[in-house]
Structure 1
Amino acid sequence: MGVPVVLPLSQLSTGAEEGKLNIADAFLAPVISDRPDGLIPTIVSAYPQGGRALGLVYSSRASVKEALLTGKGTYFSRKHGLWRKGETSGATQDVVSIKADCDADCLEFMVMQHGAGFCHLATPSCFGPWTGIAALEETLSSRFASAPEGSYTARLFNDPDLLKSKIMEEADELCRAESKEEVAFEAADLIYFALAKCVSRGVGVKEIEASLERKAKKVTRRKGDAKPQWARTTGDNDKTPAAAEKTISAPEKTPDAPIQMRTYDLALLSPPERAALLKRPTLKSEEMIARVRPIVDTVRTRGDAGLKELTKKFDKALLEEVILCPPFSPESVRLPEEVKAAIDQAYKNVYAFHAAQVDKVPLEVETMPGVVCSRFARPIARVGVYVPGGTAVLPSTALMLGIPAQVAGCKEIVLATPPRPDGSIVPEVLYVAQLVGATCILKAGGAQAVAAMAYGTETCPKVDKIFGPGNQWVTAAKMLVQNDTEALVGIDMPAGPSEVLVIADYTADPEFVAADLLSQAEHGVDSQVVLVAVDLSSEHLQAIEVAVDRQARALPRVEITRVSIGKSLIVRVKTVREAISFSNEYAPEHLILHLEKAEESVGSVLNAGSVFVGAYSAESCGDYASGTNHTLPTNGFARQYSGVNTQSFQKHITSQRITPQGLGVLGPVVVTLAEREGLEAHANAVRVRLAKLGV
């Protein structure tokens, strides 16, 4: 009837007691066999190893009865009859459970295997040795019984404080992991140390699974919140773009814990582990695009009204107008004289470098007599430059985007930046907008600003190309609009968190190195910071780590730095050549060379956004005022993208000028190729001219 049968134990027997039902008979009653010999296919599974298959055997009704009676693995051999596993080899089994499958035509024996293993080849399973967690448990158990003196595993078992520290360290790193590869890497480390703790206390996977099963059967549970010492303190889980940009994740480590990076020796890493070091947190493009699409559609369909609504929601600003046009009032650009002078000097330096990049004369080449080809630059007419707000005021970004647009000769420069709660724009950004000749200021941030520039609104001009960094909401919006043929807009490059890779040898000043690492770490909790240490002594490396910790604690953005540094890497290598090779694979946004002969290494740099050569070339100089642009490729895109430059705001047009004599020579070549491709109209356009020339 398909219903469970419940029988009292008093009515059951393992033997042949009169008036009672034999357990084996009750169990076997619904079991069927489709074999002529009546044998039942039986899978033998290993209990401590999470039910992994040991092999396939056959059972008879008599063998099942004996297994139930004795509690030992007993099966039926088609050659020898009743087969008591281990009777001659000593590889016996204790039966934990016997189950029938859903069709009641196959059995599973869950057993604890003893001796050399289930297989006659002395392997744990007929399908080969254990892998994964089962193999790890077996190895740790073996090492616990007789670990080689001086081995790391022996040290773990003999030093409970070290084991405790490693478990906490790996749990912390798993919490910080973001990409799929990084999560897998850190979870594997945590499982190793956690299982070492279990094995040292006589706990195996079977006890863990039993505990999981008991917990799964609980009818009521506690609320499930974290205990006070582990609880987050950032407040409500705000999912708006503004919150995503401005909220700082609370560090899992205590304030007294050292602010330090994770150290790896490149020579000791396997290829997959090396590859994991090169990974950045991945942007879940499809998910983020799905989240920004409603925002973009709101601005696309409702224009200024939608933009005002979103700015009120995300930036907490109630706007009367979304566009601010020059001239700007003197009060709105009033700054301390030293700030104004610093911006002016930065403007001059950046302008000078970008003006030198302009194609002053067309490129002209005579490819053959009478055939002249040329290329000339024209500015992109309308550009949008996005200057983030968020956790920092960024007039430097306004300079880096506005100046090349101005130098290139763009007719319209729309500068978008989030407004303050009162609807005003920070004076530093407004002053730069005035310097670079911005056509107007769009008082909006995030995906809504990108949408307004891409499609245009009643008051915001539509642009042809959008530039600028931003959080994942901005990046996703840029990716969305560039693929929409209705927008017909380009973007500068994909964007990700700020990055720096520092290569340091024995000449490196620990204070300088620490300062350079922290200069990027303070950008955000997802900043990517890497130190490649070239044959540094332990003392030298420790001096750098001490300097990082000390300098970080003196910074106002220490809580951001604590998180980003905790996820950052120290990679130890033997030679400068190895260091440059690793850097080229990583393709950093910023590459800083603290090397004895730094200039000699520049020629080996293949992939980087911008290179800072020597101890006194601080990355901050490039960010603000040396002259190079700080809008650079991140996330490894330095392999195929350049940083923003004057030519980013231009397009190049080619032309050709062909004389009658030139066509007389070139024409037959074109006709032949066009005919070969089957494009007769192309060939005809040349033939009619050749006929006119009598060729």
Structure 2
Amino acid sequence: MVLSTSALLPAIAHGQSLPASSSALWAAISRTSTAVLLPLDAVTHAAPGTLPPSYIVHLPARAAIDPASAITLLNNGAHAILTDSPHTLINQLGLPLDRIVLSITPDTATPLSELAADIAAVYITLPDALALHDAQTAEIISHYTALLDVKNTGKPVYVATNSSSVPTTDDIKLLASQAATLVVPYSSLTISENEAAAASTLDFVSAFFSPLVSDRADGLFPTLVVAAPSSSSLGLVYSSLPSLRACVYTGDATYQSRTRGLWRKGATSGATQQVVRVRVDCDSDAVELTVRQRQGTGFCHLAKTRTSCFGAREGLAKLEETLLARVQDAPEGSYTQRLFREPELLAAKLREETAELIEAKDSEPEHVAFEAADLLYFTLVRCVRAGVSLEDIERSLDAKARKVSRRKGDAKAQFVVPASVEKAAATTETEAAPIKAPQAPAAATDDNSLPIKITSYTAADLSPEERVKLQQRPAIGSSAILSIVQPILADVKARGDAALIELTRKFDRAELKDGKVTMLPPFNTPERLAGMKPEVREAIDVAYKNIYAFHKAQKVTTGNRSAKEAGLASTEGEEEAEAVLEMETMPGVLCRRFSRPIQRVGLYVPGGTAVLPSTALMLGIPAQVAGCPTIVLATPPRPDGSVAPEVLYVASLVNASCVLLAGGAQAVAALAYGTASVPKVDKIAGPGNQFVTAAKMCVQNDVGAQVSIDMPAGPSEVLVIADEEAPPSFVAADLLSQAEHGPDSQVVLVGIALSPLRLAQIEAEVDRQARALPRCEVIRKAIEKSVTVLVRDRGEAIRWSNEYAPEHLILQIRDAEGIVKEVENAGSVFVGPWSPESCGDYASGTNHTLPTYGFARQYSGVSTSTFEKHITSQSLTADGLRALGPHVVQLARCEGLDAHAEAVSIRLRELEAGASRQGRDALDL
């Protein structure tokens, strides 16, 4: 593996942690694909998703590392390991040489000539006496660049010094001219919108582009703009150092127009570009800018929708572009629309095309290409449907390429055709060659004939890496979804109601009556509730009563005094339902914590072809109990512009202020930004599809929106812990109740000391019950992503569950109540054989809007507090300030905040003066 070269190698020192992912400098380094040198301890403790795209792990000098840890580092994405003991890594650990950077000094005894042809790079630490500009330094660098044959191999030669002074751009340019890369302490780097930098720092952008040269009179650099992920050319532009700075600093593609000056692409037309990567060519006289073009817009200035100045996209990139457009606006009745709407049809076509590609003969390459093209089409439909882009696929391929350990690669047993069967099939085919008859589906690829079975593992047999992998959820792609969502958010923000009406017509296929995007109370009129069955109304009433009671109780369990007693009641008549935490932390120092409702909340209730009054209850009741003055309930309308009467009935029960007749990203945008008809809200809660989730995350990160959300969301999931006494039919039913939500759902069975017979009974029940359900094909796909883990005892079972952090945890074990105290991470727990998860979904009283995808480690499900904020107050008496004040003064001065200290001191002096005056008055008397 050849490491990417750059003008500098930022290095984080041992003992330092990774910067925050929101750091402008960290983001800029990622955009330039500059490798970063990270200490082992920082990598080991890094949170998921915080490591840069390209990094080298720096092992401490003469450090020992076990084989599994070294392999895990590389498998998890490290491009290389920097070490001064290469033979240990090679001979004892079996690591490939091309993933090792050798740390040396000019007098290192390591026979580098033996390794030079294979190692990834060398890292030279200069002696203290040598400076970068010394002639001897140039000789050392020349020796190693020749040894690594840098001119032909492109391998980096990293040069580090022990100097405490901050490197300069001249230092970087000097080493670049010698085909070497300077190691720069990360603590010395900074970044800003302009070139100005403190004397004690080095500006990253100036450093990165310092080797750039131009042969033009105007000093501009030719810049090739290419598309992500296809790397197809979009056009040729020119860049200046200020425009390149804007690209790296802001992430917005910015160029230098020869007539208009600095030019942010799409600032007026809307055809914006997001910078994915900036690279300098091998001669340092041209730039490549990889960008992600805003969905639905083009790059060419002659035609707004023309993708490239060199013509239209082709191949897979063109197919992806077409499918992304079709996913939102496929012609009614088209085949592509059917594939997006009917997962069973898409699954069948994928199996069919796979079989046909297998059957195509090597002697007919055109037939192989034809069948492969069909399979790629249906594969890309599957990916776009799940929000996975070609960029996501390429990223996954790159990650796989960096792995050094490989699985054996054998096929699963159900896909292996015995040699005798294959030979018989070939013989039959030869004998029947003259007859051209329609091909029947091969039995070996007919999944419907196979059992619907969860793959089983024994926990004791798993390696640490395998354990982590089993606890991971199916991957969710995001870049393609964001490219669709972001323009929708911008459109609603800019055009308000008009955009909502158009988008509702386009995406929900609904015509809004009289062009009104909201429905106002009363919602429970006979006309609006027509068609609701009496038994459904009764069920809603029972569910409302239970859910309201449980969420009402949550308000009185958060303090030790009533709000009325504390003089902090927020509304008349509700004092008894509010609690205040009040305590005297020391004599004369009284602290309080009390709640207030969030003023305006938006509740997203999925709809369209589905009717989900349960979600309206789960969101509306906590908001009602919290006392939120404005409750906006958003739900997609039916084709005639109406809303399901069951949802309207719940809207009436929870005293909703209005119902927004829109779904998807457009509804989220209306709630976040507000329109002429839709009140802007302060918080958005509720589940939704991948587009709704992406929109919620986007508006939460938009400072201008000033809106929060309840939690990140993902596909539904359940983990069932079962022992030998659990009824197999109950266990299977609980697993299937979540598997039917969608093909991305995941169900996990953790079996405690299950006998082979009991496990077989559970598996048989899963297969039998699944085949009787209308969503059998959806369940089959979910089961393929699901696992059974066999453990020895209850302790091991609960440890697995806590590590997995499920949305729903079902305990079908003896003395289930006794183990609840050991649950650390779960959205909601269902205890014992008579507590099916479905009761919590609808009417027991707990909430069914819960954290998924492992977020139960950090988030709680929706509750009354979701719609409240908590305020603290403190009251000090004079005696309290006398006792506490001097300590506060000391702490403020310790932190160098003298104004803080003076705010206390001025009062203490007044108290002392007052006491003196009282003393004198007493003497006068």
- TM bucket (normalised to shorter chain) is 0.5 to 0.7
Query: Are residues 1:354 and 2:572 paired?
Result: no
Report the equivalent of 1:381. Answer: 599
Query: Are residues 1:498 and 2:716 paired?
Result: yes
Residue-by-residue CA offset, 1:311-353 (whole Å, 9 max, x unaligned): 1111101222110111123222231111100000000000000
- Please give the alpha-carbon distance, in whole angstroms, between the structure 2 residues aligned to 1:436 and 1:103: 71
For 1:326, which of 499, 518, 521 is the aligned residue? 521
Q: What is the one-letter code of the residue matched to 2:447?
A: T
Matches within 5 A, 1:582-621: 582-621=800-839
Q: What is the one-letter code of the residue matched to 1:261?
A: I
- Please give the alpha-carbon distance, in whole angstroms, between the structure 2 residues aligned to 1:373 and 1:484: 34
Q: What is the one-letter code of the residue matched to 2:486?
A: R
- Please give the alpha-carbon distance, in whole angstroms, between the structure 2 residues aligned to 1:466 and 1:104: 57
Report the equivalent of 1:507. Answer: 725
C-alpha change, 1:509 and 1:292, in structure 2 (3 Å) is: same
C-alpha change, 1:197 and 1:652, in structure 2 (3 Å) is: closer
- Please give the alpha-carbon distance, in whole angstroms, between the structure 1 residues aligned to 2:849 and 2:764: 31
**Which structure would you say has the larger Rg?**
1
Q: Tell me the secondary structure at the aligned position of residue 260 of structure 1.
A: coil
C-alpha change, 1:425 and 1:197, in structure 2 (3 Å) is: closer
Query: Are residues 1:336 and 2:560 paired?
Result: no
Contact (CA 8 Å) 1:503, 1:594: kept in 2 or not?
yes
Residue-by-residue CA offset, 1:504-545 (whole Å, 9 max, x unaligned): 100010111111011111111111111111121222111111
- Please give the alpha-carbon distance, in whole angstroms, between the structure 2 residues aligned to 1:338 and 1:200: 60
Q: Once the 2 structures are TM-superposed, how far is the Cα of residue 393 of structure 1 from its aligned partner? A: 2.0
Query: Are residues 1:278 and 2:471 paired?
Result: yes
Matches within 5 A, 1:78-97: none
Q: Once the 2 structures are TM-superposed, how far is the Cα of residue 603 of structure 1 from its aligned partner? A: 1.3
Contact (CA 8 Å) 2:508, 2:608: kept in 1 or not?
no
Stretches of structure 2 that go unaligned for 5 or more consecutive residues are 1-96, 99-148, 154-354, 360-374, 421-438, 557-577, 914-925
Q: Once the 2 structures are TM-superposed, how far is the Cα of residue 649 of structure 1 from its aligned partner? A: 0.6
Q: What is the one-letter code of the residue matched to 2:813?
A: L
Report the equivalent of 2:498. Answer: 305
Q: Once the 2 structures are TM-superposed, how far is the Cα of residue 396 of structure 1 from its aligned partner? A: 0.7
C-alpha change, 1:679 and 1:599, in structure 2 (3 Å) is: same
**Alignment root-mean-square deviation, CA:** 3.4
C-alpha change, 1:394 and 1:351, in structure 2 (3 Å) is: same
Count of aligned residue pairs for this structure pair: 488
Matches within 5 A, 1:55-66: none
Contact (CA 8 Å) 2:841, 2:847: kept in 1 or not?
yes
Report the equivalent of 2:693. Answer: 475
Report the equivalent of 2:455. Answer: 262
C-alpha change, 1:194 and 1:618, in structure 2 (3 Å) is: closer
Matches within 5 A, 1:111-190: none
Q: Once the 2 structures are TM-superposed, how far is the Cα of residue 361 of structure 1 from its aligned partner? A: 2.3
- Please give the alpha-carbon distance, in whole angstroms, between the structure 2 residues aligned to 1:189 and 1:631: 38
Contact (CA 8 Å) 1:181, 1:276: kept in 2 or not?
no
Q: What is the one-letter code of the residue matched to 1:399?
A: L
For 2:636, which of 401, 412, 418 is the aligned residue? 418
Matches within 5 A, 1:432-471: 432-471=650-689
Contact (CA 8 Å) 2:753, 2:791: kept in 1 or not?
yes
- Please give the alpha-carbon distance, in whole angstroms, between the structure 1 residues aligned to 2:901 and 2:776: 69
- Please give the alpha-carbon distance, in whole angstroms, between the structure 2 residues aligned to 1:103 and 1:680: 57
- Please give the alpha-carbon distance, in whole angstroms, between the structure 2 residues aligned to 1:605 and 1:103: 56
- Please give the alpha-carbon distance, in whole angstroms, between the structure 2 residues aligned to 1:556 and 1:440: 35
Q: Once the 2 structures are TM-superposed, how far is the Cα of residue 390 of structure 1 from its aligned partner? A: 5.5
C-alpha change, 1:291 and 1:596, in structure 2 (3 Å) is: same
Residue-by-residue CA offset, 1:183-240 (whole Å, 9 max, x unaligned): 969x966833499989999xxxxxxxxxxxxxxxxxxxxxxxxx9859xxxxxxxxxx
Stretches of structure 1 that go unaligned for 5 or more consecutive residues are 1-51, 54-101, 107-163, 202-226, 231-251
Q: Once the 2 structures are TM-superposed, how far is the Cα of residue 428 of structure 1 from its aligned partner? A: 1.2
Q: Once the 2 structures are TM-superposed, how far is the Cα of residue 284 of structure 1 from its aligned partner? A: 3.2
Contact (CA 8 Å) 2:608, 2:638: kept in 1 or not?
no
- Please give the alpha-carbon distance, in whole angstroms, between the structure 2 residues aligned to 1:475 and 1:633: 12
Q: What is the one-letter code of the residue matched to 2:848?
A: H
Contact (CA 8 Å) 2:749, 2:788: kept in 1 or not?
yes
Contact (CA 8 Å) 1:580, 1:605: kept in 2 or not?
yes
Q: Once the 2 structures are TM-superposed, how far is the Cα of residue 454 of structure 1 from its aligned partner? A: 0.3
Report the equivalent of 1:429. Answer: 647
- Please give the alpha-carbon distance, in whole angstroms, between the structure 2 residues aligned to 1:444 and 1:534: 47
Report the equivalent of 2:489. Answer: 296
Q: What is the one-letter code of the residue matched to 2:505?
A: K
Report the equivalent of 1:156. Answer: none
Q: Tell me the secondary structure at the aligned position of residue 420 of structure 1.
A: coil
Q: What is the one-letter code of the residue matched to 2:452?
A: I
Q: Once the 2 structures are TM-superposed, how far is the Cα of residue 181 of structure 1 from its aligned partner? A: 8.2
Contact (CA 8 Å) 1:322, 1:443: kept in 2 or not?
yes
Report the equivalent of 1:371. Answer: 589
Q: Once the 2 structures are TM-superposed, how far is the Cα of residue 477 of structure 1 from its aligned partner? A: 0.6
- Please give the alpha-carbon distance, in whole angstroms, between the structure 2 residues aligned to 1:557 and 1:655: 54
Contact (CA 8 Å) 2:474, 2:785: kept in 1 or not?
no
Contact (CA 8 Å) 1:349, 1:625: kept in 2 or not?
yes
- Please give the alpha-carbon distance, in whole angstroms, between the structure 2 residues aligned to 1:687 and 1:189: 69
Residue-by-residue CA offset, 1:286-327 (whole Å, 9 max, x unaligned): 443333100111111110111111111111012221101111
Q: What is the one-letter code of the residue matched to 2:729?
A: E
Residue-by-residue CA offset, 1:127-147 (whole Å, 9 max, x unaligned): xxxxxxxxxxxxxxxxxxxxx
Residue-by-residue CA offset, 1:547-568 (whole Å, 9 max, x unaligned): 1112112222222212212321
Q: Once the 2 structures are TM-superposed, how far is the Cα of residue 640 of structure 1 from its aligned partner? A: 0.9
Report the equivalent of 1:533. Answer: 751
- Please give the alpha-carbon distance, in whole angstroms, between the structure 2 residues aligned to 1:449 and 1:599: 42
Q: What is the one-letter code of the residue matched to 1:324?
A: M
Q: Tell me the secondary structure at the aligned position of residue 768 of structure 2.
A: helix
Contact (CA 8 Å) 1:594, 1:613: kept in 2 or not?
yes
Residue-by-residue CA offset, 1:153-200 (whole Å, 9 max, x unaligned): xxxxxxxxxxx9xx99xx9x9x99999889969x96683349998999
Q: Tell me the secondary structure at the aligned position of residue 438 of structure 1.
A: coil
Contact (CA 8 Å) 1:631, 1:644: kept in 2 or not?
yes
- Please give the alpha-carbon distance, in whole angstroms, between the structure 2 residues aligned to 1:671 and 1:567: 59
Report the equivalent of 2:763. Answer: 545
Q: What is the one-letter code of the residue matched to 1:455?
A: Y
- Please give the alpha-carbon distance, in whole angstroms, between the structure 1 residues aligned to 2:446 and 2:645: 38
- Please give the alpha-carbon distance, in whole angstroms, between the structure 2 residues aligned to 1:670 and 1:458: 49
- Please give the alpha-carbon distance, in whole angstroms, between the structure 2 residues aligned to 1:549 and 1:188: 32
- Please give the alpha-carbon distance, in whole angstroms, between the structure 1 residues aligned to 2:412 and 2:850: 41
Query: Are residues 1:652 and 2:870 paired?
Result: yes
Report the equivalent of 2:879. Answer: 661
- Please give the alpha-carbon distance, in whole angstroms, between the structure 1 residues aligned to 2:672 and 2:416: 56
- Please give the alpha-carbon distance, in whole angstroms, between the structure 1 residues aligned to 2:671 and 2:737: 31
Q: What is the one-letter code of the residue matched to 2:534?
A: E
- Please give the alpha-carbon distance, in whole angstroms, between the structure 1 residues aligned to 2:723 and 2:417: 42
- Please give the alpha-carbon distance, in whole angstroms, between the structure 2 residues aligned to 1:190 and 1:676: 61
C-alpha change, 1:596 and 1:327, in structure 2 (3 Å) is: same
C-alpha change, 1:327 and 1:391, in structure 2 (3 Å) is: closer
Q: Tell me the secondary structure at the aligned position of residue 463 of structure 1.
A: coil
- Please give the alpha-carbon distance, in whole angstroms, between the structure 2 residues aligned to 1:391 and 1:538: 43
Q: What is the one-letter code of the residue matched to 2:806?
A: P
- Please give the alpha-carbon distance, in whole angstroms, between the structure 2 residues aligned to 1:481 and 1:450: 8
- Please give the alpha-carbon distance, in whole angstroms, between the structure 2 residues aligned to 1:506 and 1:648: 39
Q: Once the 2 structures are TM-superposed, how far is the Cα of residue 391 of structure 1 from its aligned partner? A: 6.2
Q: What is the one-letter code of the residue matched to 2:744?
A: D
Contact (CA 8 Å) 1:453, 1:460: kept in 2 or not?
yes
Report the equivalent of 2:507. Answer: 314
- Please give the alpha-carbon distance, in whole angstroms, between the structure 1 residues aligned to 2:720 and 2:819: 13
